[in-house]
Every structure is written in structure tokens, then in C-alpha cells.
Chain A
Amino acid sequence: MNGTDNSRNILEVKDLHVSFRMPTGDVKAIRGLNFTLARNEVVALVGESGSGKSVGVKAVTGILPDNAVIESGEILYNDGGEMIDLLKLRPSVRKKRFAGKKIAMIFQDPMTSLNPVMTIGAQLMTAARCHTPMSRKEAWAKCTELLREVGITDPVRTMAQYPHQLSGGMRQRVVIATALSGDPDILICDEPTTALDVTIQQKILDLLQSIQRAKGLSIIFITHNLGVVAKLADYVGVMYAGKIIEYGTVFDIFFEPRHPYTWGLLSAVPEITELADGNDTLYSIPGTPPNLAKEIVGDAFAPRNPYAMEIDFKAEPPMFRISNTHSAATWLADPRAPKTEMPPELAERIRRLKQEEADYVNS
């Protein structure tokens, strides 16, 4: 979707369908997920809980729960110029060569991703030696270096400590170091700062950004915090009911959003610089996300969409191409659709943010 040069892409997810087998029937959690991740690039996936963002990346790392079934699709990984379909590999091969090593993942809660009864050093070294065989001495040197890279000032001391002796921010740094221990190409971050305070969040985001730039990593960043997206992402995929319904550069999504769901998401978050007086109602998207255990006819967002047209209830919109980088799955983007503008409040905010941008560039 982003550019035509395929060799730049490190990961391509094509028409992925994932269902959960439940006693009451199948729940279609992912209904045709498509996205590409280029080298040295950050893609953010945003959406409400249940939109399938976590399931999507778990399919990529191969850590779906037992009752999940990949119905169809491809997950292509660029292994030195050759595109390998991870889904066609034997699980043991996939686990050994890719999961955790080439594709590493960071989770939301740093306390639960660390073993409470092992020292930081023991955990880090286990991870490092599991990825690449090396002596304990080499592993120790590598791990202290990793800890230094993630901004821990006294790595030797930290190596001997247990997780409970560290603060939340420090723990998340250790988790990032563990993820980096296999020299991954792709780092998947699943809400890595949601459990942290804003000041710590800022430090962790800055750290992730500097590591990404220094190592040329590709990052898939899952979050529901649009501020975090604006800060980190190059590309944004907005997810709804198991698929990406709008995809574009961070500027496309924040300044030229086209899908009514994206309008809703952006409007629902108050901007910190917004004038407190005047409008005292936050826009909220009416209704609730659809039940994915049921067959969805037409656009999954149609029942909640104030701009829905007749066709939205009958046929599912394809991804309409808006520009080279930007596409949206809404019938409003169809050339035959009546011209529809985004809500005036949102247009006004975007105008203000652009003004701020202009002031910022000039200053």
C-alpha cells in the first residue's frame, strides 16, 4: 500500500482471516487484514478494543491462543530478499528462526512479561543465548550493553536485581532490552506505555524512537492513544471489526481523514491546547462495535455511521485509493457518492493544528 518497491518491505500481511472457535460458534476476529511494513518504518494500528489489532499481530508472531484458526491469508516475511510465508513454515521452525528473534514483541504490562523469581541478568542472558549460542561471558557483556542502550545507567547493578526492585518504567526498559536481544528486524509493541505514567510514557516513547532510528528497525505499534500515534508513526492503519478501514501516512490520517470512523475517533479525544470554553460536549461514536460472531452484511460500521448511505447496509466497501499513500474503505470515497465533509468541529481542530504546524516551522 505504501509505495511500489516491494524489496523495501520487510513484512506483508495479505488478506488474513482469523477466527476463534467458541462453544457458541465462530468469532471472526480478523476479516481480511492487509498491510505492509517497510524497513525502518513505524506502522501504528489503532482502533477500539475488539477491533482485532492484538489478534492481528499475534498472528504475525505466531502466538495465537489454541482456539484461534487462521482461515486464509499470507504473512510474508522478507528474509534477505526472499519472501517467506510464515504460515507455511512448520511451527518449530517458525518459532526458532522468527518468533522472538527476527520478530520481537513488547507487551503492555512489564510486570507480567518478566519472571518475578529470576534476576534481570538471568532472564536477559537466557533470552540472548536462546537466540544466538554464546558463552555466559559473552552473553553477560552483550546484556549489560543492551541495558545501557535502553537507558539504564547502572547496568551491572540492574543485572543482579529482581523485577520487583525496579520501577514500572525501568521494567519496561528491561523488556525492551530483552526484545532487542535477538537483534530483531521487526519490533511489535502492543500498548507498551498504557500502564505507565505520562512522564514515563514520554521517556519510553523517546527511547523507542531513538532505538528505531539507530538500528533501522521496523515497528508495528498497537495503541488506542492517538497522541502516541501522532508522535511515533510513519503510517497509520485504523482498524474496525477485524480489518483496516483507513490507511495512510500519519499526515493523511490526522490532517485529511476520509473515513467517518476515523473522524469519530479523532473527535472523541480532547486536544490539550483546545480552548476549554465554548463546546463542552465531546463527540462520541454512537452505538457499540458489531458482534463478530454474527455474519456482517455491508459495511460493518454502517449502523453507527451518521453518514451511512443505503449501499452501506448492502455491500461492503472496497479500499478506495485516495492518493499514493492513502486509502479508505468507505463508500463515501466512491466517485459516485455525494460529496461529504468531515464534521465542522474536527475540520476546525485540524485547521488549528495545521496553523500550529506552520507557526512551528516558521519559528
Chain B
Amino acid sequence: MSTADVSKKTLLSVNDLCMYFDSAGKRVKAAEHVSFEINEGEVFGLVGESGSGKSSIGKCIIGLNRPTSGSILFRGTELTGIKSRREYIDKMRDIQMIFQDPMSSLNPRKQVGQIINDALKIQHIGSGAEERGRMVSDAFRRVGIPVEYTDRYPRSFSGGQRQRIGIARALAGAPKLVIADECIAALDASVQAQIVNMINGIKKETGTAFLFISHDLSMVRFLSDRIGVLHLGYMLETGTADDIFREPIHPYTKKLLGAIPRLNPVVQNMSGDDDTSGSILYSEGTWHQLSPTHGVLCTDSELEKWSEDDEE
């Protein structure tokens, strides 16, 4: 699953992105010189703890945040510095978003079919009511909700079904990239599995790329072709799922992996005291590309030290 094809065409490239928030005289740095790429038809998993800046980066891409500096190229078009609403709609049509909370992201007073129809209409997708109607039914079919339910209200659906509707809305206009920000965090484990399988199926069937933002590392591993690890606004390590999970380099990545409770009652990780990842100055590191797929942010001496640690 995680055979990242290097020859694939780049869909989105984020270059040197900085996102600072100024509040009450303090500057919060949500993204510090973050760069990464998403290829066509792949799932890029962005992991990190709360406050690591993963949501801010997602919002920068979709235009909900205005980046402080840096560039975001989507199929060769610059997405930063959009001036008008018209320009925004034109450029953002192929990027859609799935939100975390399926309860608050659907208008409770509208029929679910209408919710999706409106989303298409606002973005000038579809040439008329008839075509939009067909797109809505297609979207419902794709996420496994019976088309007869289009005239129901969000309240008549369960959490998992609502999330499917949220996904149907994102997919209705056949976007090239979907940003899924913690889209399974609010769901039960067995429903999570259903949604994750669905995303996998959609990716295969339609070639839609996903930016899968999550703190759940096992789900990220399961779903993603490539993964980026964020901490305190810095992209610390990127690589294929295997690079990150089998041969992690950065101590923070290792710490994150070690913190996941295992499904084995006998073999469990304990939080160690030998944690050195707190003392690393991320700002001094430079990007080291170790292989075509695997890169890490560090200084030369750090890289040497970490590699030695691994061999022990």
C-alpha cells in the first residue's frame, strides 16, 4: 500500500511556509518554514500533537488562514495572496475539506441533499440544477448513504453517517485534493474503520489525493502513503509509512511512536526518562534528505549522533 511512486506528478507543494499568530503582544508560531509535497492520488498523513500546527497548515492550504510567508503551489498555481472571492472560488474548487466534528459541520436546518447541492452551487460546480442533482446522488452513493435519504435532516443520522455526508459534500465536485482534519477522531473505533476503508476505496477509485491530518498514528500508518511529523510548527521528518514507522530517525518521532499503547497486554512501552527530544533546537537544523523518500530536520552532528544511537 505504501509504495510511494517517486515519479508521480506533484499536486501540491508547500514551500517554506510560515504561519504566525500575533495575540496579546505574543507571537505564536504555528508553522516554521514548513515544506512538503503531495503527489497526485496519494494520501499524505500529517501527524503531531495538539499545538504542533497541523491544523493551521491545513487551513493555510484551503485559504482559511493567511500565511505569514511562503508559497503554496497547487497544480502550478500560487494559492497565497488571493485577493477576491471570485479568484478564491476559481482556485480552490479542486481542494475540499472534511471537518472533525460531523455534528457541527452540517447545517441542522437544511436537508442533507440541499447541503451538498448548496456547496456545489456556491462553487459554481455543475452547469444546472439537473447536473447538480445527479452529482449529489453520485456523492451519496459513493459514501454508502441511500439516495432516498437526501431529503432528511442531519438529526436523523448517526455520527458515522453524518461524517459520511460530510465526506460526500467534499467529494461531490470531484476535487483533486481533500483535506481531512481529524475526520475520524470523534467516531467510535468500528465506525472509524468504516470511514478509513471508505477513504481508501475512494482514493483508489477516483485518484483523489488526501491530506490526512491526525494524531492517531496507527490510523495514519494504515492509510497514508507518506507521512510528515510535525512538532512546535516544525516539520521534523517526512517519509513513506515504512520509513517513519520502521526506521524513524528523529528522537521526537521515536518518542511519539513509543507513546502509542500497544495491543499486547504483555509487551508495553513505558515512558522513559532518557527522553532527549526536548533539548533539541529545531531552528538550528537544516533539511537532510536521506533517501528519495525519507528526510529529516537536524544538524549534521545530530544526524551523526542519532544514526550511531540506532546502531547500538
Decide whether A and B are members of one complex. Answer: yes
- Give the B-binding residues of A (Cβ under 8 A): 48-49, 168, 197-203, 205-206, 224-228, 230-231, 233, 250-251, 254-255, 264-266, 268-274, 276-278, 280-285, 288, 349, 353, 356-357, 360-361
Chain A min CB distance to B258 (Å): 8
Instruction: Say whether B301 faces chain A, with CB atoms less than 8 Å apart.
Output: no
From A198, A285, A353, contact of B49 by CB (8 A): A198
- B190 near A197: Cβ-Cβ < 8 Å: no
* A278 to B241 Cα, complex, angstroms: 14
- A227 near B260: Cβ-Cβ < 8 Å: yes
Instruction: Say whether B264 faces chain A, with CB atoms less than 8 Å apart.
Output: yes
Chain A min CB distance to B309 (Å): 19
Chain B min CB distance to A27 (Å): 15
From A200, A205, A265, A272, contact of B221 by CB (8 A): A272
- B197 near A269: Cβ-Cβ < 8 Å: no
From B2, B256, B270, contact of A276 by CB (8 A): B2
**Given the known A-B contacts A227-B261, A231-B261, A288-B158, are A268 and B270 also in contact in the complex, defined by CB atoms under 8 Å?**
no
Chain A min CB distance to B55 (Å): 14
* 7 A-B pairs (CB sep. < 8 Å): A198-B256, A199-B49, A206-B270, A231-B262, A255-B265, A272-B262, A280-B1
Most buried by A among B193, B256, B260: B193
**Given the known A-B contacts A268-B189, A270-B222, are A202 and B261 also in contact in the complex, defined by CB atoms under 8 Å?**
yes
Chain A min CB distance to B299 (Å): 23
Residues of A within 8 A of B267 (CB): 353, 356-357, 360
Instruction: Say whether B77 faces chain A, with CB atoms less than 8 Å apart.
Output: no
Chain B min CB distance to A218 (Å): 19
Residues of B within 8 A of A360 (CB): 266-267
* A277 to B189 Cα, complex, angstroms: 21
- B259 near A284: Cβ-Cβ < 8 Å: no
Instruction: Say whether B289 faces chain A, with CB atoms less than 8 Å apart.
Output: no
- B200 near A198: Cβ-Cβ < 8 Å: no
Q: Mark B196-232, 1 if CB is under 8 A from A, else 0.
A: 1100100000000000000101110110000000000
Chain A min CB distance to B233 (Å): 15
- B200 near A227: Cβ-Cβ < 8 Å: no
- B245 near A230: Cβ-Cβ < 8 Å: no
- A251 near B217: Cβ-Cβ < 8 Å: no
* A268 to B191 Cα, complex, angstroms: 9
- B2 near A48: Cβ-Cβ < 8 Å: no
In the complex, the chain A residue whose C-beta lies closest to that of B216 is A198
- A48 near B50: Cβ-Cβ < 8 Å: no
Instruction: Say whether B286 faces chain A, with CB atoms less than 8 Å apart.
Output: no
From A284, A356, A361, contact of B190 by CB (8 A): A284
From B218, B222, B255, B263, contact of A230 by CB (8 A): B263
- B221 near A198: Cβ-Cβ < 8 Å: no
Chain A min CB distance to B13 (Å): 25
- A353 near B264: Cβ-Cβ < 8 Å: yes
Instruction: Say whether B271 faces chain A, with CB atoms less than 8 Å apart.
Output: yes
Q: Mark B38-75, 1 if CB is under 8 A from A, else 0.
A: 00000000000110000000000000000000000000
